[in-house]
Amino acid sequence: MTKNQWIIKRVFDIALSIIGIVLTLPIMILALFIASIDTHSFGLFVQRRVGRYGKVFLVYKIKTMRTIEGFDSSVTTDNDIRITKSGKIMRKTKIDELPQLFNVLFGSMSFVGARPDVEGFADKLEGEERIILSIPPAITGPASLKYRNEESILAQQKDPEYYNREVIWKDKVAINKEYIYNWSLRSDIEYIIKTIVP
């Protein structure tokens, strides 16, 4: 991605994130309130993720899962017992992702690209694969759309964590590399539309 392309992408992100925040702020506040009741804790989920150039940042989401003592997994499936009733709806409608509009506005995320990963994945990229870290992680993208039903796919596996690491993750890396090599504003707009209107 050239410097001019990056500027165009960033300006687009800022403009669209401001519009998105204005339009969805009431929904975010309501979702935050519901999540706080359902999880018996403050409804904003904050987690460390790997960002541009491998630097760690904090991603914001609405909480959709409760803490269960003794249950610890980095992979979430459809039948995960930690997901709350309201969380199932929020995850399906992507309402839980709305606070990431602030991540986009502040520059730690973009609208389109690779999804932000927890430490142990993106920060382990090597060689040509590290081009994925040349732009901020994003809310949606070609890999996200392909694996829109990722939790259902993982629920069907005997070892979800292994399948996620050895199959899905590697495929996402290939898809995200291709996205960056062939970036265009038009494709970003198309991916956003496909995300909103499946």
pLDDT digits (tens, 9 = 90+) for 16-36: 999 999 999 999 999 999 999
Q: Classify residue 118 by its DSSP letter.
A: P
Average pLDDT of span 53-64: 94
Average pLDDT, the chain: 91
Contact status, residue 159 vs residue 132, Cβ threshold 8 Å: no
pLDDT value of residue 67 = 76
User: What stretches of the chain adopt beta strand conformation (E)?
Assistant: 44-50, 56-62, 110-112, 138-140
Question: Which of 91, 31, 90, 100 is CA-nearest to residue 59?
Answer: 100
Length of the chain in terms of residues written: 198
Q: Is 108 exposed, middle or buried (0-12, 13-18, 19+ CB in 10 A)?
A: buried
What's 73-97 look like in SS3? CCCCCCCCCCECHHHHHHHHHCHHH
Average pLDDT of span 45-70: 90
Contact status, residue 112 vs residue 194, Cβ threshold 8 Å: no
Instruction: Write down the residue that tokens 């309130």 correspond to.
Output: 33
pLDDT digits (tens, 9 = 90+) for 99-151: 999 999 999 999 999 999 888 877 778 899 999 999 999 999 999 999 988 88
Question: What three-state secondary structure class fits 15?
Answer: helix
